[in-house]
A and B are shown apart, each in its own frame.
Chain A
Amino acid sequence: MNFKEQRDNFRSKKVSAKEAVKDSINKINNDDLNIFINIFDSEAIKKAEFIDNNFDKFKDAPLAGVPIAHKDIFCTKGLPTTCGSKMLENFVPPYDSTVIKNCNEAGSVILGKTNMDEFAMGSSNETSYFGPVSNPWNSDLVPGGSSGGAAACVAAGITSISTGTDTGGSIRQPAALCGITGLKPTYGLVSRWGMIAFCSSMDQAGPFSKDAFGCAALLDAMSSYDSKDSTSTKRPDKNFENLLTKDFGSLKIGVIKDINSFGINSDVMGAYETSKTVLSGLGHELKEVDFSELSSGICSYYVIAPAECSSNLSRFDGVKYGYRASDQKDISKLYMETRSEAFGDEVKKRILIGTHVLSAGFYDAYYLQAQKVRRMIKNKFEDVFKNVDLVFMPTTLDQAFEKNRESNDPNRMYKEDLLTIPANLAGLPAISFPNGFKNNLPIGGQFVGNYFSEDLLLTTTHKIQEVSDWHKMTP
């Protein structure tokens, strides 16, 4: 059942919120994909009853009576929030993140918190302290990451919507690998208050759903100007769901020149070519754009994200909350052992990289140079958007891959983010949607739009989904 059907059922009193929640909880109980880190079933049932009892108040809310799963990166007051780490295994935040608060007010019922790569650092959900998540299409494969649990949750039909965060592709890549739709909004559209920071200048929360419709409704709920986040942006109020019916007319859509040079798998390329035909068929004009700078994005990203994370994760020191190594007699040892025992290898590696690129003697060559690459990418996008309305490209290089993938290339996993990173560096909105199948596995394509063009991204995707079926496939 997709989001719209589920909400319609609630609004028409065909299915109560409580029944919807119970149905989802049953599915969670049968889940063997390790999608959830914590399940709040009794709280969920209580909340559903409350919504049912206040039907009139909630029936017109954007997420009325719909069960939702949140990535375990959003702080939930009184309910554990782990960020996929041993460090926060027993951490209970004393406050709600703005995303949680907004979703609660929009009438959704939180079922639990979904599994993720530790502190959102990973592209396969394998760095989670709570174990990897399996791909609903094939349990030997990864769902992608870092929002792997959230994407798998929707793909497996446990909920019709879920939240994720995207720092270098962490919404779009798992959306592609799980065959659902996922949107990374413009940096600053959704408040970061209460979202555990990985790379503050790129982190952005966004919606997952099977289709653009569900994403639009969830984005309506999630986004708000928030004075608690200095990088939150005031913008004219848009209702993304209502805008889905707007006719934006024939668009100029940029397609990447020499895209073969990026090492994209032929099945993914096949889907890409098919999608181009669909776009032309919908009356859009395809324009080739030269974007050879794209591939430098990855260098910039793997400097800036570790740099910011090395600082953001300094607060995890075993003093005020979270894990503390036992029996440490002096403060220096307490820090060392706490952080070594409670951070996983990938997190430690990125902290070390980030510490290095910020340290005396390396700052200019790494951090500053990376910020200049970032400028270059942003400038390039600005040029491109003078000539086209949207840029279209594959979301990933590959389809879902096997867990513990062996590779001759030690940087294989990092390169996974090649096509998603540029939008994060520039802070642009981007949407990934299912645009093909091969080997009974989904493939994703993505649009990147200009700042605050979420309406255009969602509506264009929605029009594609009106004439295609990829988003309706289920494992």
Chain B
Amino acid sequence: MAQNDTLIKGWQPVIGLEVHVQLMTNTKLFSPAKNKFGEDANTLVDLIDMGLPGVLPVLNEGAMKQGIKFGLATSAKIAKTMIFDRKNYFYPDLPKGYQITQLHYPIVKEGVVEVNNKKIRIHQAHLEEDAGKSMHDKYDNKSVIDLNRSGVPLLEIVSEPDIRSAREAVDYLKKIHQIITYLDISDGNMSQGSMRCDANISIMKPDAEAYGTRAEIKNINSFKFVEKAINFEIKRQIKLLENGGTVEQETRLYDAVKDETRSMRTKEFANDYRYFPCPDLVPTNISNELIEEVRKGMDELPEEKEARFRSEYNLGDYEAQVLCAEKSTANFYEEVCKVTDPILSAKWIIGEVNALLNKHDVSLNQSNINSKNFSNLILKITDGTISGKIAKEVLEEMWEEGSDPIEIIKSKGLEQISDEGELETIAQAVIDNNSSQVEAYKSGKDKLFGFFVGQVMKETQGKANPGAVNEILKKLLSN
């Protein structure tokens, strides 16, 4: 049970995550309204999403197929029969007063994902509908309700309590993110709420037989906060227990500003969701034919893609893993490889492009870099038009302006000077103007060679082909 390297002050954290993933269907889980983010308030609301009297839900086959996909990707059991239940509670953004979800017969059961060579089990993944949104800032004494999100399909992925540290929780979450984006079932965008995370956290002594009492932290909305919230909560529980207190089973909220978790106001009475099978939807059988149909339409999974990259493009384990971390990057790479040298392209994506993405904290498809302009950049390096150093400059320019590298090189006159006659003239001038350094060099100060290279580069504004400069200088200085 315990994992010694994750003990904190002799306590073993035990963590389970519930990840809510908004599925990228055309329509909602039980209504034909569009499933889309960022539209005008209350414009994507069907009669069904309004919970009008007399309306009835009809299951979206697309959402069911996406759930099956996730099950297949995590080696899980796909239900032969799934059943939808009602979870009853009152909230203004929950129009029916109940949420249709799956309690005992979820679509997916007993899956597993591998995170840093450790298996983390998935207890179940179930389909359910999202609630609308209530917002509290528009008026002083009113909250406002937007039902556009009401009925959007969610897949709730519930892990077993197999996670032992905040870091591992983040890695697991990233793995889930990778799987759902590879499967194209969600955009996994945490800042827009299409991926949300609840964490169940308890601590125990390594030799204890049972888990401790757990607290649940609700709605954590970034990878960074997941780590911080869990770490805060572990420390809170340790402090509590070491001072003779007890952990209460409760729901807590993470406050990112104060970096702390705090108890949600305890209600006068405990909530009781009164789950029961939704009588408007009879049990849904999932046929082997449907599962096979879904399986056939599935794209390559990350591990499969990595293996192919290694053999097809001669990449090492590390390169393949980094390039496949995100499907969009992998697709970008493959597109670029159609016309460029795979090794050089890999080196540039992993190095310079990733550096820019990290610096600006955006994803590749949000940036100005596209496979066409990036391919041209690599081609210009390969054919010697620009040096690596100039290429970095061009890449920066592409990042800012989104323009084509060929244009940038031309308009800024950045072509590498490889013309030996021209370079020789410049080199000779450098030698002529620095006679004392030449003498010193010739008397044995080999390190001064770099000085001459630098001077030639300076004269050419860095455009000189470094290989050619080296050779010419060697030739001239040995005279």
Asked if B57 is at the interface (CB within 8 A of a chain A CB), the reply is yes
Is A94 within 8 A of B59, CB to CB?
no
Asked if B388 is at the interface (CB within 8 A of a chain A CB), the reply is no
Asked if A311 is at the interface (CB within 8 A of a chain B CB), the reply is yes
Kindly list chain A residues whose C-beta atoms are within 8 Å of the C-beta of B1: none
Indicate with 1 or 0, residue by residue over A323-349, a CB within 8 angstroms of chain B CB atoms: 000000001000100000000000000
Asked if B276 is at the interface (CB within 8 A of a chain A CB), the reply is yes
Is A314 within 8 A of B97, CB to CB?
yes
Report the minimum CB–CB distance from A323 to chain B (whole Å).
Answer: 13
Give residues 288-347 of A contacting B (CB, 8 Å).
307-308, 310-311, 313-317, 319-321, 331, 335
Indicate with 1 or 0, residue by residue over B87-118, a CB within 8 angstroms of chain A CB atoms: 01010100111100000000000000000000
Report the minimum CB–CB distance from A301 to chain B (whole Å).
Answer: 14
Is A359 within 8 A of B53, CB to CB?
no
Indicate with 1 or 0, residue by residue over A401-445, a CB within 8 angstroms of chain B CB atoms: 000000000000000000000000000000000000000000000
Is A95 within 8 A of B47, CB to CB?
yes
Indicate with 1 or 0, residue by residue over B257-298, a CB within 8 angstroms of chain A CB atoms: 000000000000000101110011110000000000000000
Task: Tell which of A83, A192, A311 has the most Cβ of chain B within 10 Å.
Answer: A311
Return the contact of B280 from the options A74, A231, A321, A355 (Cβ within 8 A).
A231
Query: How distant is the Cα of A313 from the Cα of B52 in the complex, in angstroms?
Result: 11
Is A81 within 8 A of B53, CB to CB?
yes
Known: A311-B97, A358-B88. A94 touches B52 (CB 8 A): yes
Query: How distant is the Cα of A193 from the Cα of B59 in the complex, in angstroms?
Result: 15
Indicate with 1 or 0, residue by residue over A198-242, a CB within 8 angstroms of chain B CB atoms: 011100000000000000000000000001111100000000000
Asked if A36 is at the interface (CB within 8 A of a chain B CB), the reply is no
Return the contact of A317 from the options B86, B90, B274 (Cβ within 8 A).
B90
Is A195 within 8 A of B54, CB to CB?
yes
Kindly list chain B residues whose C-beta atoms are within 8 Å of the C-beta of A81: 53
Kindly list chain B residues whose C-beta atoms are within 8 Å of the C-beta of A360: 272
Known: A75-B54, A230-B280, A360-B272. A315 touches B47 (CB 8 A): no
Is A315 within 8 A of B58, CB to CB?
no
Give residues 86-104 of A contacting B (CB, 8 Å).
88, 91, 93-95, 97
Chain B at the A interface: mostly helix, strand, loop or mixed?
A: loop
Is B276 within 8 A of A311, CB to CB?
yes
Report the minimum CB–CB distance from A232 to chain B (whole Å).
Answer: 9
Kindly list chain A residues whose C-beta atoms are within 8 Å of the C-beta of B51: 315, 320
Report the minimum CB–CB distance from A149 to chain B (whole Å).
Answer: 18
Asked if B50 is at the interface (CB within 8 A of a chain A CB), the reply is yes
Kindly list chain B residues whose C-beta atoms are within 8 Å of the C-beta of A229: 56, 58
Return the contact of B92 from the options A94, A319, A321 (Cβ within 8 A).
A319
Give residues 291-345 of B contacting A (CB, 8 Å).
none
Report the minimum CB–CB distance from A342 to chain B (whole Å).
Answer: 13
Is A230 within 8 A of B53, CB to CB?
no
Asked if A367 is at the interface (CB within 8 A of a chain B CB), the reply is yes
Known: A230-B58, A321-B52. A314 touches B90 (CB 8 A): yes
Kindly list chain A residues whose C-beta atoms are within 8 Å of the C-beta of B50: 320-321
Is B281 within 8 A of A315, CB to CB?
no
Query: How distant is the Cα of A321 from the Cα of B147 in the complex, in angstroms?
Result: 14
Is B58 within 8 A of A228, CB to CB?
yes
Is B279 within 8 A of A200, CB to CB?
yes
Asked if B41 is at the interface (CB within 8 A of a chain A CB), the reply is no
Report the minimum CB–CB distance from B258 to chain A (whole Å).
Answer: 26
Is B280 within 8 A of A311, CB to CB?
no
Kindly list chain B residues whose C-beta atoms are within 8 Å of the C-beta of A319: 92, 95, 145
Asked if A194 is at the interface (CB within 8 A of a chain B CB), the reply is yes
Is B276 within 8 A of A95, CB to CB?
no
Asked if A197 is at the interface (CB within 8 A of a chain B CB), the reply is yes
Is A331 within 8 A of B58, CB to CB?
no
Q: How many residues of B contact A (CB 8 A)?
A: 29
Return the contact of B276 from the options A75, A316, A367 (Cβ within 8 A).
A367
Query: How distant is the Cα of A306 from the Cα of B110 in the complex, in angstroms?
Result: 35
Chain A at the B interface: mostly helix, strand, loop or mixed?
A: loop
Query: How distant is the Cα of A213 from the Cα of B196 in the complex, in angstroms?
Result: 59
- The closest CB in chain A to the CB of B267 belongs to A332
Asked if B256 is at the interface (CB within 8 A of a chain A CB), the reply is no
Indicate with 1 or 0, residue by residue over B22-65, a CB within 8 angstroms of chain A CB atoms: 00000000000000000000000001001111111111000000
Return the contact of A94 from the options B47, B56, B88, B282 (Cβ within 8 A).
B47
Query: How distant is the Cα of A321 from the Cα of B47 in the complex, in angstroms?
Result: 12
Kindly list chain B residues whose C-beta atoms are within 8 Å of the C-beta of A231: 280, 282
Query: How distant is the Cα of A192 from the Cα of B54 in the complex, in angstroms?
Result: 7
Kindly list chain B residues whose C-beta atoms are within 8 Å of the C-beta of A308: 279
Query: How distant is the Cα of A308 from the Cα of B277 in the complex, in angstroms?
Result: 10
Task: Tell which of B50, B52, B59, B145 has the most Cβ of chain A within 10 Å.
Answer: B52
Indicate with 1 or 0, residue by residue over A361-383, a CB within 8 angstroms of chain B CB atoms: 00100010000000000000000
Is B276 within 8 A of A196, CB to CB?
no
Return the contact of A197 from the options B54, B88, B143, B282 (Cβ within 8 A).
B54
Query: How distant is the Cα of A200 from the Cα of B143 in the complex, in angstroms?
Result: 32
Task: Tell which of A200, A308, A314 has the most Cβ of chain B within 10 Å.
Answer: A314
- The closest CB in chain A to the CB of B147 belongs to A320
Is A95 within 8 A of B52, CB to CB?
yes
Kindly list chain A residues whose C-beta atoms are within 8 Å of the C-beta of B272: 359-360
Kindly list chain A residues whose C-beta atoms are within 8 Å of the C-beta of B145: 319
Return the contact of B90 from the options A74, A230, A307, A335 (Cβ within 8 A).
A335
Return the contact of B97 from the options A83, A196, A315, A331 (Cβ within 8 A).
A315
Known: A230-B282, A314-B90. A93 touches B52 (CB 8 A): yes
Is A196 within 8 A of B88, CB to CB?
no
Known: A314-B90, A320-B95, A331-B92. A194 touches B280 (CB 8 A): no
- The closest CB in chain B to the CB of A193 belongs to B56
Query: How distant is the Cα of A311 from the Cα of B143 in the complex, in angstroms?
Result: 25
Kindly list chain B residues whose C-beta atoms are within 8 Å of the C-beta of A83: 53
Kindly list chain B residues whose C-beta atoms are within 8 Å of the C-beta of A197: 53-54, 280
Task: Give B residues with C-beta under 8 Å from A.
Answer: 47, 50-59, 86, 88, 90, 92, 95-98, 143, 145, 272, 274-276, 279-282
28 A–B contacts, CB within 8 A, in A order: A75-B52, A93-B52, A94-B47, A97-B54, A192-B56, A197-B54, A197-B280, A229-B58, A230-B58, A230-B59, A230-B282, A310-B88, A311-B88, A311-B98, A313-B97, A314-B90, A314-B96, A315-B51, A315-B53, A315-B96, A315-B97, A317-B97, A319-B145, A320-B51, A321-B52, A331-B143, A358-B275, A367-B276
Give 8 new A-B contacts, CB below 8 A, not counting A83-B53, A93-B54: A74-B54, A192-B54, A195-B54, A197-B280, A310-B88, A315-B95, A317-B90, A360-B272
**Top 7 closest A-B pairs, CB basis?**
A314-B97, A358-B274, A200-B279, A201-B279, A194-B54, A196-B53, A315-B51
